[in-house]
Amino acid sequence: MAQQASIIEIIKQQIKKEESLPVLSPKAMNIQKEATSEDPDFKVLARLIRMDPTLTSQVLKTANSPFYRGLGNVNTINDAVIRLGQDEMVNIVMKVLHQENFRSSHPLIRPYQIRLWNHSVSCAIGSLWTVKYLSVEELISRAFIAGLLHDIGKLYLLTAIEKIFKSKTATFKPPPQLIDKILSNLHSAMGYNLLTKWHLPLQYRTIARDHHTDEYDHSNMLLLIVRLVDAVCIKIENNGSKTDLAGIVSSREADILGMPEIGVAELEIALEDARTQNAI
């Protein structure tokens, strides 16, 4: 236990250093700030996207994807916004911005990042699917982002751990089981801290902090949805096709949301599809 405490202290000391923050360039920070604001100015957002070749490419690629085949080619960001809709464009932008932080070359960190990214994207897609299923129209613009960022604290911790691994003076070699425990125990608080540093709205910070707590705001619909989707994702990841969702169907979240058993089953199908299409 003493060894565990010392390792956690090493990680906390590393986190205090700004170099352990997952990197978002000033340009990306400006884009994220506009995309997650209460009332995004899409003229400003489109201008910021046009200044980023990667984002421009991804937005145009999606607008010209087979799903939209037959509508003609789209060659400008403004036309892409019209075709995709503002919410979908924001979701694409947030996904591209954050995927860049999941590209470690370290052999011990990379597998964690792959699992975390796939889980985060699944939760994002599942949260958006659930909001639409429940017809909570006012949350459609925020559901994907909330699901995508709910576990961002794990990325923060993995970034710090990688820095320690690469330190020439460190004798830091925790076993995978201990890394798993550190991520599980610390990621909620770290997620809240990171999203605060990034100046994201309180709603996203609260979800990062409270998506595993026993005591939480039962009136926070988006939090309830992310908690439910997160639980289904974890069940699928751990059990695959043998997933038993009975506990989720009878959960407090499903009860408050009015999510029926058939809805949870359809969510599982949507998440299985998402895992197939979005795995890295």
Rounded CA gap, 212 and 234, in Å?
12
Are 50 and 177 within one domain? no
Question: Domain boundary at 74, 100, 126, which?
Answer: 100
pLDDT digits (tens, 9 = 90+) for 143-153: 999 999 999 99
State pLDDT tens for residues 90-136. 999 999 889 888 988 888 899 999 999 999 999 999 999 999 999 99
Q: Identify whether the C-beta of residue 203 lies closer than 8 Å to the C-beta of residue 121.
A: no
The end-to-end CA distance of the chain, in Å, is 36
Contacts with 216 (C-beta within 8 Å, 6 or more apart), sequence order: 210, 223, 227
User: Which of 52, 69, 100 is a domain's end point?
Assistant: 100
Whether the model pTM is above 0.85: yes
Tell me the per-residue pLDDT of 30-46, one tens digit each, with 9 for 90 and over: 889 988 888 888 889 88
**Mean pLDDT computed over 203-215:** 97
Same domain? 226 vs 172: yes
Write the CB contacts of 16 (distance below 8 Å, at least 6 apart in sequence).
Answer: none
Residues 6+ apart with CB under 8 A from 252: 218
Q: How many structural domains is the chain composed of?
A: 2
Please check whether residues 95 and 121 belong to one and the same domain: no
Q: What is residue 277's predicted lDDT score, i.e. its pLDDT?
A: 65
Same domain, 118 and 216: yes
User: Does 59 lie in the same domain as 157?
Assistant: no
